[in-house]
Amino acid sequence: MIAARSSALDVAQLVVSALTPIMLFVLGLLVTRATRRFEQAEWANRKVVERKLTLYEDMSPLINDLYCFFNLVGHFQEVTPPDAVSRKRALDRLFYTHAPLFGKEFKQRYESFMSACFQVFSAVAQDAKLKAPIDAQKRVRARDGDQRERIRQGS
């Protein structure tokens, strides 16, 4: 009976000795896979952030141009009404083709800005209409043009 216990104990020790490296191998494999998945997710997130930054770099000058045009500040004279519409079209193309990359808040703010500046969907197959007061545009552009002319003439 003592021999049977001793042999059972030897078998148990042998099984534990054999299972330990196997369990360590399986545990190492699981940790390696989890680490690889984490690294891939981190890489994907980094690529999304890089793409967003590129889009922001492409969109921000156009948004600034529209801001200046509609508020008659900065370089608004460089943006004509047809230019404003074409900038909106370019912005919409960038924004809506990449909409899944932007969050809900950015989308809401973008659409709010555009509806403050333009009357959209006014007619089928027609450009968005400007909401800029044409009288103020003409008056300020004429005044600024007169000032530039006086500066050019040295008065």
Where are the domains positioned within the chain?
A: 2-153
Residue 135: the pLDDT is 80
Residue whose pair of structure tokens reads 């890089």 in the numeric block:
50
Nearest to 94 by CA among 48, 51, 55, 52: 55
Residue 145: the pLDDT is 58
Residue 97: the pLDDT is 95
β-strands 118-119, 129-130 pairing: antiparallel
Nearest to 131 by CA among 113, 145, 144: 113
Query: First CA to last CA across the chain, in angstroms?
Result: 121
Residue 139: the pLDDT is 83
Q: Which residues of the chain have pLDDT under 50?
A: 149-152
